[in-house]
Chain A
Amino acid sequence: MNFQEEFRNKDVARGLVAGIRNAIQSIPPVVLPVRLMEVCGSHTMAICRYGIRQLLPKPLRLLSGPGCPVCVTTGDYIDKAVALARIPGVVVTSFGDLFKVPGSTSSLEKERAGGAAVEVMFSPIEAVRIARDNPAKKVVFLGIGFETTIPAVAIAIKEAAGQGVENFSVLSGHKLMPPALRALAEGGTRVNGFICPGHVSTIIGMHPYEFIARDYRIGCVIAGFEPLDILQSIHMLLRQIKDGEPAVENQYTRLVRPEGNRAGQAMINEVFEPVDVAWRGLGVIPGSGLRIREQFAAHDTERTIEFAPEPTVEKPGCICGEILQGIKTPYDCPLFGKYCTPAGPVGPCMVSTEGCCAASYKYLEPMKR
């Protein structure tokens, strides 16, 4: 099966869109418009890329959630990374996404242009190798991302510990998805259903979402990232809403098992422990972050390197926080497209390719620009 052809089949899409229209018509008007939140940044991208909004009936709104790791990372994390990059002998390694994110006065990109050692990589294991090859340097990996990426960072930390690579550490900014969904369900955003992140779910499985359906009566469908995946997930959520039976369903069965990836979960638990952390836009969410456990403290940047980040200043006018909660859209932002563009981003939602603002800017329907 060719995943790039089969899951983008127009005829199948037409059938699903017809099903979505029928389902909407059988939903009581009082529930309309139905508001579904795609939590994951990759879903936001796919929805924009394939013009899915343009295919959907009006009484159905898609809101973008806080599932872009760069977007929900608070400014102080970037300021910490910048401060680390400024220390002679420190090599800051990172996934590419963080490279251009502006902190209070600088970014990793600017620091590198000024001579700092900042390396972009695709795997944290690569950072361990750099540390091993450069024993005189302190190599810091910027650990951001959700459950999908955390096991790889845990493996890197275990590998460094096992091989005695003492100059490798991680600045953990990792975040967990289920506590954020709880915060959204309890917060001011009216959501009728969550399109749940497919790749996070490959690790955590279906069970961690059950409380949302049970306690908050909001349906959850774990979705893949091809256009047909997303349309089918929307259809599944509408059926739940129509029947008044919120549940956790798995559309992405080709990758997600109900129990998830047990080895990955074990790896996360062995190296990290939950901690309360702040999310951009959502504030502090209990148990939604991860701290490196005492056993691996030698590889925790915050406990091994002394550094003094500059005071964090939030950008005036930037409404990324409200956008991340689904309260506002990029078009509500006075900076969007004029003062904040991918070339000169003000807020993180414009920096990350998965960010709601970047996706909206790039894939904006022609009439709106």
Chain B
Amino acid sequence: MEQQISLAHGSGGQLTRELVEHVFVPKLKNDILSRLTDAAELAVPGSRLMFTTDSFVIKPLEFPGGDIGKLSVCGTINDLAVSGARPMWISCGLIIEEGFSFERLERIVDSIARTTADAGVAVVCGDTKVVEHGSADGLFINTAGIGVPIRDYRSAPIQPGDKILVSGTIGDHEAAIFRVRENLGRRMELASDCAALHGLVETMLAAAPNIRVMRDPTRGGIGAVLNELATGTACSFTIEDDLIPMCDEVRGICELVGFDPMYLANEGKLVCFVPAKQAESLLQAMRSHPLGANAAIIGEAVADSRERVYLQSRFGGSRIVIMPTGVQLPRIC
């Protein structure tokens, strides 16, 4: 059978990575793209710029804690933020399905306006296409963003002994979307964590300028991000499930339907690695920021050529967190 794109190719796991590495990078390769960072670093005379893009195809378009408009702004801001950049300018391209409600479109554009105003960024260019009924699912949004480095930050290789921090509870976004889609627990107060993280990152870099690397664990969750980060470091990561912040609702949903919270998407969280001696001061700085109130040190890097992610269970067992290999759910972000 001819090989075809399946949903798993878009899930942020193993197949997404293969698609990028086997199709896009070889055909489009250049020094900047091949680094496969969240944002591309562009050298322009006298300074550096960071540039990124992201597309959003979420269903439902509006959900507790946000909507596709807010998500599309925060998603691009966060790719810049975890690259150590202050977001400045954003582009916004909309693909709208024929028949889409005008009122709803305005509501979503208002949300984009609110989110960019709060974040101090400007939408400086845009595009709109309308496709026939059935050729898209309501509304798709692509955003791109340009930012400038904060404190001339550059990421550095992860070293054995580095501590791993996460900025708050994991899995809220995907669990919240799942709850709405499947109509679970109507009394549950679970909302997406959708938020712009550049303010938190500024606070973090002020407290710990030597943060090795930051990532936002969106599709594929912290499981995918940690596996990606382990590659090429000659380190394995050990994390403890007791230490990973998670709200009861997410835990409950995972128990109920058998999801692994390690792979659930987040839209307002980051994971970072920092030298051990700065970990505590970084943690305090994160906790002083509203978006990092539940931050925690969840584990550390250890020298190990296998480059794996190990999760120590509170019960005593240990397991390998492999790269996620398919969809837990169709189309979450």
A: residues with CB less than 8 A from B are 4, 8, 10, 13, 48-52, 54-55, 100, 105-106, 109-110, 112-114, 120, 122, 227, 341-343, 353, 361-366, 369
Contact = CB atoms under 8 A, between A and B. Distances in A.
A342 B6 contact: no
B304 to A, nearest CB: 9
A55 B14 CA distance: 32
B152 to A, nearest CB: 40
Contacts of B21: none
B4 A55 contact: no
Contacts of A113: 4-7
Contacts of B322: 342, 361-362
Contact of B325 (A51, A55, A341): A341
B23 interface: no
Contacts of B188: none
A356 to B, nearest CB: 15
B325 A366 contact: no
Contacts of B1: 105-106, 110, 114
Contacts, number: 77
A122 B257 contact: yes
B31 interface: no
6 pairs of A and B residues whose beta carbons are closest in the complex:
A51-B317, A343-B325, A113-B4, A363-B319, A113-B6, A50-B315
B26 interface: no
B194 interface: no
A362 B311 CA distance: 11
A362 B255 contact: no
Contacts of A51: 313, 315-319
Contacts of B251: 4
A114 B318 contact: no
A49 B262 CA distance: 13
B4 A110 contact: yes
Contact of A48 (B257, B310, B319, B330): B319
B314 interface: yes
B88 to A, nearest CB: 39
B313 A50 contact: yes
B255 A342 contact: no
A54 B317 contact: yes
B6 A365 contact: no
A363 B6 contact: no
B316 A10 contact: yes
Interface string B260-271: 000000000000
A292 B319 CA distance: 42
A50 B316 contact: yes
A343 B315 contact: no
A363 B316 contact: no
A49 B4 CA distance: 33
A49 B317 contact: yes
Interface residues of B, number: 29
B315 A364 contact: no
Nearest to A126: B182
Nearest to A9: B315
Of the candidates A105, A110, A343, the one having the most CB atoms from chain B within 10 angstroms of its own CB is A343
B60 interface: no
A365 B318 contact: yes
Interface in B150-181: none
B310 A366 contact: yes
Interface string B293-333: 00000000000001010100111111110110110001000
A54 B317 CA distance: 7
Contacts of B182: 122
Given A4-B251, A110-B1, A120 B320 contact: no
A13 B319 contact: no
Given A4-B255, A50-B316, A362-B319, A110 B6 contact: yes
A49 B313 contact: yes
6 contacts: A4-B251, A10-B315, A110-B6, A113-B4, A343-B15, A364-B320
B316 A54 contact: yes
A363 B330 CA distance: 25
Nearest to B258: A353
Nearest to B178: A122
A342 to B, nearest CB: 4
A227 B317 CA distance: 11
B14 A362 contact: no
A55 B316 contact: yes
Contact of A109 (B8, B255, B257): B8
Contacts of A341: 325
A112 B319 contact: no
Contacts of B317: 48-52, 54-55, 363
A144 to B, nearest CB: 16
Nearest to B304: A366
Contacts of A353: 258
Interface in B221-275: 251, 255, 257-258
Nearest to A119: B330
Nearest to A225: B255
Contacts of B257: 122
A227 B315 CA distance: 8
Contacts of B5: 113
Contacts of B313: 49-51
A120 B318 contact: no
Contact of B320 (A8, A343, A363): A363
A319 to B, nearest CB: 21
A51 B1 CA distance: 40
Contacts of A365: 318
A369 B326 contact: no
A120 B330 contact: yes
Contacts of A343: 14-15, 323, 325-326
Contacts of B315: 8, 10, 13, 50-51, 227
A10 B4 contact: no
A332 to B, nearest CB: 20
Contacts of B325: 341-343
A114 B106 CA distance: 35
A68 B237 CA distance: 31
Interface string B1-35: 10011111000001100000000000000000000
